[in-house]
């Protein structure tokens, strides 16, 4: 409520309360007068039943008694009217003081009519960069470019955290991969049943549970293909893939890790590592898409 509106409202309430007190006093006075008209103090009844005034004179005129009754009724009506006014004013002031309901969500300032309503789920983030070999690149060219970029970043800012896709020289089991990257933060893995299985990727938060779940999911998909295959060769290949995945085959060939640039450069010295390709500083999933280099690609 605006502070400027408080003084007029306060004065109005004070005026109404004063009028209410005055009306109450008049009502009490009227009641006392009515009681006095029937008592022996102000006026006494004569033998014939007629009322007399206090001085023992003649009967009290009926018009006096009627005017007292009318005055009493008028006071009652005024009192009721004032009570009603007080209730209305108090209700209005209470509403203004409450202001906007805290649970009501107002649209943000400057939001247009086409803005998404609050609570609406945002759509998937589209990658703005791709890190990995491009279509048509030879493996030798890609390896040289990735190595040069990583060395430049490590010299310029060795402590800067970067995301990088690490492509391996061969296939590894889940246990082997976890041991290899035990000192690094894994965020994604790539696997397939060699030599020609479909490439599959999985986001990793828990290196044990998430990789196990990814292998089981891929095995379920392969078993579904067994039942849907139209030829014996396709059914056999799908069944072979399902069995290999259930057995936790050596199927992992790349991973995305996060580490300082200097440590990523150290990772390139590992015998099992073929290449470490870093994302530009400041870019991270899902704004960047990583493409690994398969072991068979030369």
Distance CA 171, CA 222 (A): 19
pLDDT at residue 87 is higher than 90: no
pLDDT per residue over 185-234, tens digit each? 999 999 999 988 999 999 999 999 999 999 999 999 999 999 999 899 99
* Predicted TM-score of the model (pTM): 0.59
CB 204 within 8 A of CB 186: yes
Mark 40-75 as b/e (b = at least 16 C-beta within 10 Å): eeebeeeeeeebeeeeeeeebeeeebeebeebbeeb
Task: Give the whole-number percent of the chain exceeding pLDDT 90.
Answer: 52
What the block records as the tokens of 62 is 């009926």
Average pLDDT over the chain, rounded to an integer: 76
Q: What is the H or E stretch that residue 157 is in?
A: none
DSSP H helical ranges for 61-116: 62-98
């Amino acid at each position: 409520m605006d502070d400027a509106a408080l003084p007029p409202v306060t004065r109005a309430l004070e005026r109404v309360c004063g009028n209410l007190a005055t009306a109450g006093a008049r009502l009490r006075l009227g009641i006392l007068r009515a009681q006095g008209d029937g008592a022996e103090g102000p006026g006494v009844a004569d033998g014939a039943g007629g009322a007399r005034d206090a001085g023992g004179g003649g009967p009290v005129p009926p018009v006096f008694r009627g005017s007292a009754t009318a005055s009493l009724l008028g006071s009652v009506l005024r009192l009721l009217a004032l009570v009603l006014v007080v209730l209305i004013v108090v209700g209005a002031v209470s509403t203004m003081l409450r202001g906007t309901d805290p649970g009501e969500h107002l649209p943000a300032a400057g939001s247009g009519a086409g803005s998404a309503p609050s609570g609406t789920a945002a759509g998937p983030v589209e990658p703005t960069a791709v890190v990995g070999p491009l279509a048509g690149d030879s493996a030798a060219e890609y390896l040289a470019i990735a190595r040069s970029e990583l060395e430049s970043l490590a010299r310029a800012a060795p402590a800067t955290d970067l995301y990088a896709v690490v492509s391996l020289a061969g296939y590894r089991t889940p246990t082997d991969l976890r041991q290899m990257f035990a000192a690094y933060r894994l965020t994604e893995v790539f696997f397939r049943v060699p030599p020609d299985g479909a490439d599959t990727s999985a986001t990793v938060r828990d290196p044990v549970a998430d990789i196990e779940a990814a292998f089981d999911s891929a095995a379920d998909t392969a078993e579904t293909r067994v039942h849907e295959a139209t030829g014996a060769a396709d059914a056999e290949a799908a069944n072979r893939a399902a069995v290999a995945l259930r057995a936790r085959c050596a199927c992992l060939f790349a991973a995305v890790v996060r580490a300082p640039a200097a440590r990523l450069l150290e990772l390139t010295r590992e015998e099992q590592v073929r290449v470490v390709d870093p994302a530009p500083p400041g870019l991270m999933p899902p704004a960047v898409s990583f493409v690994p280099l398969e072991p068979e690609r030369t």
